[in-house]
Structure 1
Amino acid sequence: MDSLIKDDVQLEGQKMAPAPKGKHMWGVVTVNDRGQIVIPKEAREIFGLVNGSRLVVLGDDNEGIALVKAEQFEEKLSMAMAVLSKDIKE
């Protein structure tokens, strides 16, 4: 996980490879009493999140919570539905 934050991480004297391209970790956020969090500015900039952006909140009991842009989620869902529809007709 440290390699997501820094690129000079060493483990037992061996330099660890930097995080893969496109993988990020911005640190910790705090949930307020209304259940809100602040998405770090750099994350908002990288993913093009602006006021009014819609996100789908996904969860897995073992893996945790993920946020996905609604447009991307809807596009992938449509593609999956088209494949399922095609398979059912065949």
Structure 2
Amino acid sequence: MINTNLKKLRLHHKLTQEEVALRINVSRQVVAKWEKGESTPDLGHSQALAKLYNVSLDNLVNFDGEDTNLIIPPKGKYFFGVAKIGDRGQIVVPKKARDVFQIKPGDALVILGDEDRGLAIVPEKMMYAFLNLVQTPFHKEDE
């Protein structure tokens, strides 16, 4: 799995094996062996690769985008899977998403929409925190 991820990330970032090798201080042949699955980078090199590609170490090693042809998401970004709409319009938020965002039963989610870009689901508490950041106080003299 890591070999496939390494190759996909390198191609996505439009880097050659030589460029990757130079950036993490190994030979091009070593990078080629990692991508072919003939060997595996040690922890230090895996950390350097994760940093180079701005992905988590866990995703570098474990992400399985084979069936979906997806690239590993950058750090802090997630692909939680697909949720199906139930008969009454309900969706189930995947467990990993609930864990990462600390969503518990009874929490409110804000559904945002853009006709061109689709839907977004934001925990209500995060939406209020965001709105508080962008609010500017209204002053009478500003009229």
> What's the TM-score once normalised by structure 2's chain length?
0.48
Deviation at 1:69, TM superposition (A): 1.4
* Within-5 A mapping of 1:18-37: 18-37=72-91
Structure 1 runs, 4 residues or longer, greater than 3 Å off? 6-10
Residues 20 and 75 of structure 1: is their aligned pair in 2 closer, same or farther, counting only changes over 3 Å? Answer: same
Q: Distance in 1 between matches of 2:135 and 2:129?
A: 10
Higher helix proportion, which one? 2
Determine if the alignment matches structure 1 residue 54 to structure 2 residue 126. no
Identical pairs, percent: 36
Quote how far apart the aligned CAs of 1:54 are: 1.0
Say which SS state the counterpart of residue 76 (structure 1) adopts: helix
Between structures 1 and 2, the one with greater strand share: 1
How many residues are treated as equivalent by the alignment? 80
> Normalising by structure 1, what TM-score?
0.72
Equivalent in the alignment of 2:5: 9
2:135 alignment partner, SS class: helix
- Check if 1:89 corresponds to 2:85: no
- Offset at residue 68 of structure 1 (A): 0.9
From the CA coordinates, give the structure whose radius of gyration is larger. 2
Gaps of 5+ in 1: 1-5
